[in-house]
Amino acid sequence: MATFAEEKELAIRNLLKTAPKPQLHIHLDGSLSFDFIKSSAKRMKIQEPDRFALLFPLNIESLSENEISDYIWSLKEVQHIQGDIVSGNGNWKRFDFCNQFLQTKLDLKEAVYDLVMRQHREYGVNYIEIRFAPKLHNLCGLSDKEIVASTLDGFESAKEDLSKIGVHLNGGLILCALRSHSVEDAENILKLVLETNALGFDIAGDEGSYPLMLFEGVLRKAKNQGCFITVHAGEWGSLDYPTVQDNLRLAVDIGVNRIGHGLDLKNSPENLINDVLLKNIGVEVCLTGNCGNPNRCTGYADHPIKYMLEKKIKVCGLNCDNTLLSGNRIIGRPDPLTECVRALLIVKVSPNALVEIIENAYKSGFQNDALNQGIESGKVWREHYLPKLIEIMNE
């Protein structure tokens, strides 16, 4: 027999499952589905048997989801023990594993298509910005422009297929430079953003080892060119990595549009918080993405989202970060619906605050139609979902 708490959670899930939702911070390589991994591995085995044999001594397409999950969790746990440190020109091994399936035009197109369709079909997402690092997808000889074109093709194909069934979905692609790679690589990524239909520019990766100041020139150039900018900053803790506060200060001084994670804002001086408010900088909160890593956040109660809300910081969405690689064995993986449930029931975010967070995500979107879509979705939330949600929460 279900407990009262379980019944409340189920009622919230049933109510909000189809509610329109935005996603501003979601990584392509960290959000692959098991079905996609298996289909890509099967293609690789046929088309590139030598590469397949080198990468996967075991027959990966025959492994169960639990077996693949166990392998991924083990990679992540080892990386956490090692402090999440990345060597020069390197990347985290769990992402390296996933990126082996994203090295052809077809794989890139299908991965984006699959992610967009799953997010809408399963969770009601109608605005999504997917980010990835083109540098990680050229192992089989694709050029940077071919890589970006393939992902854009996948996104547009998903939009078109959804429109045929009356679904209006918007968003696009954000291109990432990696901190552990060179400034020249970051310059090339910015050039790609400016020359393609990508939405914006991001810097991601090992924040503790590679301060944002290394890329200050690139970021200022992006700002001067009118490029939309979001940066991973304040994700690591300044108690262990003093340059993290410098990262936040630089991001705010430059005037980035959004900050990814921003956990260490709780340790920022009041003048920095005031500048975040003055410049209307949004923070892409990733609850499970952070709480699944003991090096970032010890649990949902420790996450500073409530502090951000109290300070009137624009929290723009409850984002998944990585639907496959975020989380851990205990709390599971994130999804757009579960993040809402956890915000309400564990973090104790009020229903009204949740709706404001949802609306702020649309308002902070980089795609031209994001604001209009947000107005329509916000109206649906306030007229249909919010009254029922308040009723459930007050029971």
Helix axes 370-380, 351-363, angle to 10 degrees: 160
pLDDT tens-digit readout, 220-238: 999 999 999 999 999 999 9
| DSSP 8-class letter at 261 | E
Beta strands in the chain (DSSP E): 21-27, 125-132, 170-178, 200-204, 228-233, 258-261, 282-285, 314-318
Integer Cα distance of 76 and 90 in angstroms: 15
Give me the residues paired with residue 175 across strands. 132, 201
Q: How far apart are CA 378 and CA 370, in angstroms?
A: 12
pLDDT of residue 360: 98
CA distance linking residue 85 with residue 6, whole number of Å: 39
Contact 355, 309 (CB under 8 A): no
* CB contact burial 366-395 (16+ within 10 A = b; e otherwise): bbeebeebbeebbeebeeebbeebeebbee
Q: Is the pLDDT of residue 362 over 70?
A: yes
Q: How far apart are CA 153 and CA 118, in angstroms?
A: 17
Cβ contact 318:332 at 8 Å: no
Q: Quick one: which of 196, 187, 185, 97 has its CA closest to 150?
A: 196
CA 133, 135, 140, 143 dihedral sign is positive
Written as one letter, the residue type at 232 is H
Look at residue 100 and tell me whether its pLDDT is greater than 70: yes
Check: CB of residue 252 under 8 Å from CB of residue 228. Answer: no
User: pLDDT grade, residue 53 (50/70/90)?
Assistant: confident
Report d(CA 191, CA 186) in Å as an integer.
9
Task: Supply 233's token pair.
Answer: 């900053």
Over the stretch 276-290, which tens digit does the pLDDT of each residue have? 999 999 999 999 999
Q: Classify the C-alpha dihedral 342-300-228-146 as positive or negative.
A: negative
Which residues lie closer than 8 Å to 333 by C-beta, 6 or more apart? 288, 323, 324, 326, 327
pTM of structure: 0.97
Sequence-separated contacts (24+) of 322-325 with Cβ below 8 Å: 322/26, 322/27, 322/30, 322/31, 322/289, 323/26, 323/30, 323/31, 323/115, 324/30, 324/31, 324/32, 324/33, 324/72, 324/98, 325/27, 325/30, 325/31, 325/72, 325/76, 325/94, 325/95, 325/98
Residue 356, pLDDT above cutoff 70 = yes
Q: Which pLDDT tens digit goes with each residue over 18-32?
A: 999 999 999 999 999
pLDDT at 230: 98
- Residue range 230-277, pLDDT digits in tens: 999 999 999 999 999 999 999 999 999 999 999 999 999 999 999 999
Cβ pair 7, 114 in contact under 8 A? no
